Amino acid sequence: MERVLDTAALLHWPPDRLHDGVCAPSQRVELERLSPARAMLVEAVNIDWRPVSKSAMEQAVAAATASGDLPRLSDVDLDVLALALEANAVLYTDDYRMQNTHKLAGGTVEAVVNAASKHVWIWEQRCTGCGAVSAVDGEVKRSKHDVVGECRVCGSALKVKRRRG
């Protein structure tokens, strides 16, 4: 079975363990930004730098929307997730949002350095003003910060919270 490696693996694993892993080209840019020396080392390893197809990206966005994780995933995260979903591969990542999305979509996840998540969670948008609750949709503002939009009912800030119950 193929192995799709998140950037955490590229940063932390010894080069021989990276051999034959599948990665997205966008990870090269991220790796260069995070650790230029490590990026040079990784270039010497036999990695399958696979472009992300439009259909795979649509599948990743749909899976992240269904789990509610979309607002907190970066473009690179979505690229990696798309590769794992398209290839039905094992996803190696420490990112709990990516683990959650891939597991909910039926995929297999292995941790890189940290412990793997134990639960699959569904996220929802919750208004900080009136408390209105809605599913996270594909048009939501993607941000690593709290606010992902405005409430259609009262105009207050919407935040992504774990579904209750």
pLDDT digits (tens, 9 = 90+) for 128-151: 999 999 888 766 666 666 788 889
For residue 100, name the pLDDT band (cuts at 50, 70, 90): very high
Rounded to whole angstroms, the Cα distance separating 46 from 44 reads 7
d(CA 142, CA 149): 9
The count of other CB atoms within 10 Å of the CB of residue 12 is 12
Per the prediction, the chain carries an average pLDDT of 91
Tell me: pLDDT of 155 over 80.
yes
**Nearest C-alpha neighbor of 4 from the set 56, 69, 64:** 56
Prediction pTM value: 0.82
Residue 28 one-letter amino acid: R
Q: Does domain 3-110 have CATH number 3.40.50.1010?
A: yes
Distance CA 51, CA 11 (A): 20
- pLDDT, residue 15, reads 94
Choice between 78 and 142, residue whose per-residue pLDDT is larger: 78
Mean pLDDT (whole number) for 69-81: 94
Q: Which tens digit of pLDDT belongs to each residue from 49-73?
A: 999 999 999 999 999 998 888 888 9
pLDDT above 70 covers what percent of the chain? 94
Domain boundaries, the chain: 3-110, 123-162
Among 94, 120, 126, which residue's Cα sits nearest to residue 107? 120
Q: So what's the pLDDT on residue 122?
A: 82
pLDDT digits (tens, 9 = 90+) for 2-27: 999 999 999 999 999 999 999 999 99
